[in-house]
Amino acid sequence: MESKIDTISDGTVTTPQGFHAGATAAQIKQGSGDKLDLGILFSQELCVTAGLFTTNRIKSAPVLLCQERLKKGRAAAVVVNSGCANASTGKPGLADAAEMAALTAKALGADAEDVLVASTGVIGQRLPMERIREGINHISLSDNGGHDLARAMMTTDTVPKEIAITASAEGLRFTIGGVVKGSGMIHPNLGTLLCFLTTDAAVEPDFLQEALHQAADVSFNMVSIDGDTSPSDTLLLLANGMAGNPPVSSGGKAAELFQQALDQVCIHLAKAVARDGEGATKLLEVTVNGAASKADAALAARTIVSSPLWKVAVYGHDPNWGRVVAALGRSGAEVKESSLDLHIGDILVLKCGIPQPYDESDVVRVLARDEVPVTLDLNMGTASATAWGCDLTEKYVIINSQYTT
């Protein structure tokens, strides 16, 4: 039997066996009406759990709490809210995060130490604990509740972002699900995002953390919306083992399949975040080939996809590809102008550093697509990387000039 990965239609974070979720409208932001803003993800079996967190030196209270609790490498539940990030709130904020976990544990009959917390929204404001206390008691969990959870996490996201896939091979079959929220303050490493991944596969703890790291490197760490990195970024992967397989560990076919499936889930969610960037009208994809090293390829791709001037040019369908070259040059990656080839879509505009003749309207047509791919060949080595982002529009300015008021 060959190994196989299939996307499950309408799949979400509760699609893997034994995961339940639910959400409620707790009015964390006053006047938010019936918008879901508080949710719980729960596994009926205790999970081996891996996590990756913001590289920002100022970390939100929930991030500090998760980092502490994940030293044990396990969790049974995650409680999450939007509308308030519980960041820049000092010790009182830490106490609020701990109370959120304790309340959730009590409602679920779980151990408080096994509950993780994530919050997203305005920085520098305390959580409205009264409304959270009441809200948690109103959440009912179901094995189809992932869709509500995905909605409860949204801030300026315009669509919920979720997926599930099944992977199978000789004697092995498991499911991975995931939900993610963007959509501003997104920049490598780990764009401002909250992402929860679940799997019913049994996985060795060390391999789980290593696999999550590898998957993030080709997905969430390759996404940029605006160059700002949030204090709240949280990526969690819970594995409850209910598929009954021998635990997946490093090396071998099972590990390879698990990594492949996890990469696919993470790349899908990362691209969904980029596509739904604040005010975005399209997905930008930048591929750098022929770099001297993997690190150079990633640096160059991420710098170009983050360039405000290229993002605005694509939005305006302006074939100003010199901005791609300028961003490459400032990226820090090793480049030689006379070795550089550049394609916009499949149109060659620069060969060995010299502008090529092309029909401008062809380039404009590429820029008008929903997905705009750019490919650079540095011809310095053999390493490649791809990064994703979105265009920069008036709407990004409008959304973010009125965020707290």
Residue 371: other Cβ atoms inside 10 A: 13
Q: Which is nearer to its own copies, 9 or 401 (CB)?
A: 401
Binding of its own copies by 124 (CB under 8 A): yes
Site for its own copies in 51-80 (CB under 8 A): 55-59
User: How many residues would you count in the chain?
Assistant: 405
How far is residue 251 CA from its own chain's centroid?
Answer: 26
Cα separation, 161 vs 122, whole angstroms: 21
Segment (H or E) for 131:
helix 129-137
- What the block records as the tokens of 59 is 């970390």
Beta-strand runs (E) in 182-252: 194-199, 223-224, 234-239
- What the block records as the tokens of 237 is 């992967």
Q: Which is nearer to its own copies, 164 or 385 (CB)?
A: 385
Binding of its own copies by 329 (CB under 8 A): yes
Residue 38: other Cβ atoms inside 10 A: 29
CB of 252 to its own copies, least distance (A): 38
Residue type, 147: H
Cα separation, 230 vs 191, whole angstroms: 7
Binding of its own copies by 256 (CB under 8 A): no
- Among 226, 276, 285, 341, interactor with its own copies by CB under 8 A: 226
**Structural contact between residues 328 and 299, judged by C-beta atoms closer than 8 angstroms:** no
- Among 90, 109, 251, 357, interactor with its own copies by CB under 8 A: 90
CB of 239 to its own copies, least distance (A): 30
Cα separation, 109 vs 107, whole angstroms: 6
Binding of its own copies by 230 (CB under 8 A): yes
Q: Which is nearer to its own copies, 43 or 229 (CB)?
A: 229
Binding of its own copies by 234 (CB under 8 A): no
Nearest to 82 by CA among 130, 43, 117, 133: 117
Dihedral of CA atoms 293, 298, 300, 305 in degrees, nearest 10, equals: 170
CB of 333 to its own copies, least distance (A): 8
Nearest to 336 by CA among 349, 322, 325: 325
Q: Which is nearer to its own copies, 88 or 384 (CB)?
A: 88
Q: Which is nearer to its own copies, 195 or 367 (CB)?
A: 367
- The count of chain residues that interact with its own copies, using the rule CB under 8 A, is 70
Here's the x/- map for its own copies, 289-328, by CB under 8 A: it reads as: -----------------xxxx--xx-xxxxxxxxx-xxxx
104 is catalytic: no
- Among 159, 295, 368, 397, interactor with its own copies by CB under 8 A: 397
Catalytic one among 192, 375, 386, 393? 192
- Among 50, 78, 98, 123, interactor with its own copies by CB under 8 A: 123
- Among 89, 155, 198, 219, interactor with its own copies by CB under 8 A: 89
Site for its own copies in 335-394 (CB under 8 A): 335, 337-338, 349-350, 352-355, 392-394
Site for its own copies in 179-218 (CB under 8 A): 184-185, 187
Cα separation, 165 vs 268, whole angstroms: 11
Instruction: Please work out, in degrees rounded to the nearest 5, the angle formed at the alpha carbon of residue 189 by the alpha carbons of 185 and 192.
Output: 25
Q: Is the dihedral of CA 267, 153, 85, 80 positive or negative?
A: negative
Catalytic residues: 192
**Which residues bind to its own copies, rule: CB under 8 A?**
55-59, 85, 87-90, 92, 122-126, 184-185, 187, 226-231, 306-309, 312-313, 315-323, 325-330, 332-335, 337-338, 349-350, 352-355, 392-394, 396-398, 400-405
